[in-house]
Amino acid sequence: MLGLIYPTHLFVATLCVGPMGLVAATVWVVGVSSQIADYLLQNYVITGQMDKLFDVVLCNEGLELEVYSGRLRRITSKPMGKRVQEAALGTLPFGVVSFPVQLARFVRSNWWNAVPLAGPVFSFLDMAKAQSVGRHQRYFRLMRMKPVNVKYHVKDNEARYISFGVVAVLLETIPLLGPVFSFTNHTGAALMAVEMHKEKTKEKTKETPKETPKTES
């Protein structure tokens, strides 16, 4: 399918940015093919297995308490409307629920391709960052992080997410070896989450004031 779309996109990109259209079209095909492969793999081929792999890596790195506490569900009284909504969404595959978000992200990234020279680069980096952050969704759920906290977390570690995402996207676009690299990249994402968590814990420990023992006179 991408082979049929590529000539058309190459023609349009060449009209917009001239000779750099070849680079723009190539970057677009690489990014989109990686997104489609990762989307199909995680939502329809190995649904749930990546989360188990993520949990195993976290436990092996000493975060058993965080994993086990994150899996526990708090028994709270929810409004009837909320329960009906969760029940309705629970009957649908995760891929169907997340498809509108993926489509909006896909359209947004392609707008960058209309910008000469720098557009394709920003488009590729945007897709790489989105895919990298997506691999930490399990970590966000285990830590019960609110969307606002996730936003600040991603902003503080934006450079790391982009650099990891660029390498992951390039590896997963290799023919035949893409699914294999998807597992290794997911393991790497889990290790990166462990590193971020330990750094955050260390910072909190430094910020906590130590109580000085009182001496009796």
The number of domains in the chain is 1
Residue bearing the bigger pLDDT, 2 or 179 = 179
Q: Could you give the angle at which helices 158-172 and 147-156 cross, rounded to 10 degrees?
A: 80
Rounded-to-integer distance, Cα 56 and Cα 60, Å: 6
Instruction: Quote the tokens at residue 37.
Output: 């492969």
Furthest C-alpha separation in the chain: 86
The yes-or-no verdict on residue 210 having pLDDT over 50 is yes
Rounded-to-integer distance, Cα 121 and Cα 78, Å: 45
Q: In whole numbers, what is the pLDDT of the chain averaged over residues?
A: 75
Position 166 in a domain: yes
Position 68 in a domain: yes
Q: What is the pLDDT of residue 188?
A: 94
Position 216 in a domain: no
What's the pTM value of the predicted model, to 2 decimals?
0.69
Q: What's the full length of the chain, in residues?
A: 217
Position 210 in a domain: no
**pLDDT by residue (tens digit) across 83-109?**
555 555 444 444 444 556 656 666 665
Position 206 in a domain: no
Rounded-to-integer distance, Cα 126 and Cα 113, Å: 12
Rounded-to-integer distance, Cα 31 and Cα 35, Å: 6
Q: Could you give the angle at which helices 94-111 and 21-40 cross, rounded to 10 degrees?
A: 170
Rounded-to-integer distance, Cα 41 and Cα 12, Å: 30
Position 207 in a domain: no
Q: Which domain holds residue 139?
A: 2-73+83-201
Position 215 in a domain: no
